[in-house]
Amino acid sequence: MNNPTPNTPIRVLIAEDHPIMRQGLGVVLDAYDDLVLVGEAENGEQAVQLAQDLEPDVIVMDIQMPVKDGLAAIREIAGLRLETRILVLTSYPDDDKVFQAIKAGAMGYFLKETRSEQLAEAIRLVQRGEAALPPAIARKLMQEIKEPTGITSPEEALTPREMEILRYLARGLSNQEIADELEISITTVATHVRNILSKLHLANRTQAALYAIERGISSSSE
């Protein structure tokens, strides 16, 4: 994936089984100069294949699709270790779907009733590595992220280097960007991220970012 610059639009793949919805999303993307549609998938299996073939910046993913549903596709794409970020756009507001999607690797979750300008901004947020969640959904998700038993603060659980990397996660940086900032290998960063998730009992970097932001860690001095 090529990281978009101010002059390079964000490359978006749509994964949606309803043709009219796909067409509508295409119209939304076409209205913004910084967003461009690079592909369309009719089911989760196609989404996984196109993610590998096109390596888009962002996938706008439905949950309920034939052949392979969105949750399974998200898990599979997350396992490919691409730089592609995933934004769920669905008709399902129930908590279980939200939690499953974020745990699977999605960085955002919006409902199909979302206004076009909100969707466009959510795509931009996700591309930058930031969590894109409506306030109500963010609150529900935060309620699911519990403090680890016996730990009164993340400083108690994490090493100074892990705390430093957690701050970068809260800012939305990728592993490569963190490696560049700290002048360490991307493998070392990945190891630290795994340790952070394990120690704080979190499922993925989106939850880690939300955890840090909720506690003001992203703005803490090193």
Domain interval for residue 214: 146-219
Tell me the HSE value of 33 on the side-chain side, using a 13 A CA sphere.
Answer: 4
**Is 2 among the domain residues?**
no
Indicate if 45 and 116 belong to the same structural domain. Answer: yes
Token pair 């967003």 is found at 35
pLDDT at 44 (0 to 100) = 96
Indicate if 119 and 192 belong to the same structural domain. Answer: no
Indicate if 156 and 123 belong to the same structural domain. Answer: no
Indicate if 73 and 16 belong to the same structural domain. Answer: yes
Which CATH number characterizes residue 205's domain? 1.10.10.10
pTM: 0.69
Indicate if 96 and 137 belong to the same structural domain. Answer: yes
Name the more confident of 144 and 212.
Answer: 212
How confident is the model over 44-58, as a mean pLDDT? Answer: 97
Indicate if 38 and 131 belong to the same structural domain. Answer: yes
Indicate if 117 and 71 belong to the same structural domain. Answer: yes
162 and 192 Cβ atoms separated by less than 8 Å? yes
User: Rounded CA gap, 170 and 7, in Å?
Assistant: 25
Indicate if 158 and 194 belong to the same structural domain. Answer: yes
User: Rounded CA gap, 59 and 55, in Å?
Assistant: 9
Most confident by average pLDDT, 38-47, 85-94, 146-155: 38-47
Instruction: Give the total number of structural domains in the chain.
Output: 2
**Is 193 among the domain residues?**
yes
What SS3 state is found at 126? helix
Indicate if 80 and 154 belong to the same structural domain. Answer: no
In this predicted model, what pLDDT tens digit does every residue of 23-37 receive, in sequence order?
999 999 999 999 999
Name the more confident of 193 and 201.
Answer: 193
Among 143, 158, 185, give the residue marking a domain's end: 143
88 and 61 Cβ atoms separated by less than 8 Å? yes
